Amino acid sequence: MRLMRWLVVLGLVGAGGLYVLARPNPLAAAAVADLTGDATRGEQVFWASGCASCHMADGAKDAAQLVLSGGQKFPSDFGTFIAPNISQDPEHGIGAWSQLDLANAITRGVSPEGEHYYPALPYASYAKMEMQDVADLYAFMKTLPADATPSQPHELGFPFSRREAVGLWKLMFLSDDWTLAGNLTPTAARGRYITEALAHCGECHTPRNMLGGMDTARWLGGAPNPSGDGRIPNITPGKLGWTAPDIVQYLTTGFTPDYDSVGGHMVHVVENMARLPESDRQAVAEYLLAVPNLE
């Protein structure tokens, strides 16, 4: 009986410890307190980060892509995630958010109410973003239209419908360390920042483990398409087999060296990249050619 009591006590202590460790960990207010955003620079961050690609209405074209009403569905092994409204509507979107709220959401995966966001929001990549870029992004998003379309709930079954375990997931997989470590040229370092943080390329091109974390040992080595339709390709240098000009051309026009054209969700990625300065596309190319080969 005494042993049973001690086991219960130890179990409660362990559960309490896990609860503390798994609590949301928002930024301190000082992280963005002295930052003033620039909307012009923020537009570049917006396109590089692919915000519209996921949060515009399904099938939106041209100016409608800036109406971030949400609704697109993203299937996964854990259920279907539905992109929320992140327009400037104060009730159904994020129009009432502060700069700190946005920083917490995209770099810590924490809502203004202090709850965990699911990592379908790629904060495992955005965690590497510079706070000035977050401030600039916030300034640009304040210029975008409001839309009163309500966000839809994710289509997740138990236990994935419970957010408590997300805190433990963050303990294992949320980091601001670079995957390609070491000193790089200034151009390759810029490419690393765009690829690993802003454009979050690893979220699709890197395989995941059974818990949904990116297997960084196979960085950019290709992965099953979450939709179940084919594979997302290996884009490490030996497998891709492209030169730096080939990569720049693809990210500018959507055409491969053998005159094939981009398809699927990569259409949006290329559209976003084409809006950036050519120097950024050159930086991405230099970074990709520095990544270790995976066959």
**259 vs 276: CA distance, rounded Å:** 22
Do 151 and 82 form a contact (C-beta atoms < 8 A)? yes
**18 vs 82: CA distance, rounded Å:** 29
**64 vs 53: CA distance, rounded Å:** 11
44 and 99 in one domain? Answer: yes
Token output for 97: 């958010």
146 and 37 in one domain? Answer: yes
194 and 138 in one domain? Answer: no
- pTM, two decimals, is 0.91
Q: Which of 114, 106, 104 is nearest to 23 (CA)?
A: 114
Residue 66: which CATH number?
1.10.760.10
Provide the residue-wise pLDDT of the chain in tens; the chain has 295 residues: 544 443 333 343 344 445 566 789 999 999 999 999 999 999 999 999 999 999 999 988 889 999 999 999 999 989 999 999 999 999 999 999 999 999 999 999 999 999 999 999 999 999 999 999 999 999 999 999 999 999 999 999 988 888 988 999 999 999 999 999 999 999 999 999 999 999 999 999 999 999 999 999 999 999 998 877 789 999 999 999 999 999 999 999 999 999 899 988 899 999 999 999 999 999 999 999 999 999 7
Specify if 176 maps to a domain. Answer: no
Specify if 40 maps to a domain. Answer: yes
Taking residue 22's Cβ as centre, other Cβ atoms within 10 Å add up to 18
142 and 68 in one domain? Answer: yes
Do 254 and 261 form a contact (C-beta atoms < 8 A)? yes
Specify if 162 maps to a domain. Answer: no
**Domain extent for 80:** 31-151
**289 vs 268: CA distance, rounded Å:** 22
Domain tally, the chain:
2
Do 244 and 289 form a contact (C-beta atoms < 8 A)? yes
Torsions phi, psi for 139 (to 5 deg): -60, -40
**160 vs 75: CA distance, rounded Å:** 13
139 and 52 in one domain? Answer: yes
* DSSP annotation of 177: S
Do 88 and 102 form a contact (C-beta atoms < 8 A)? no
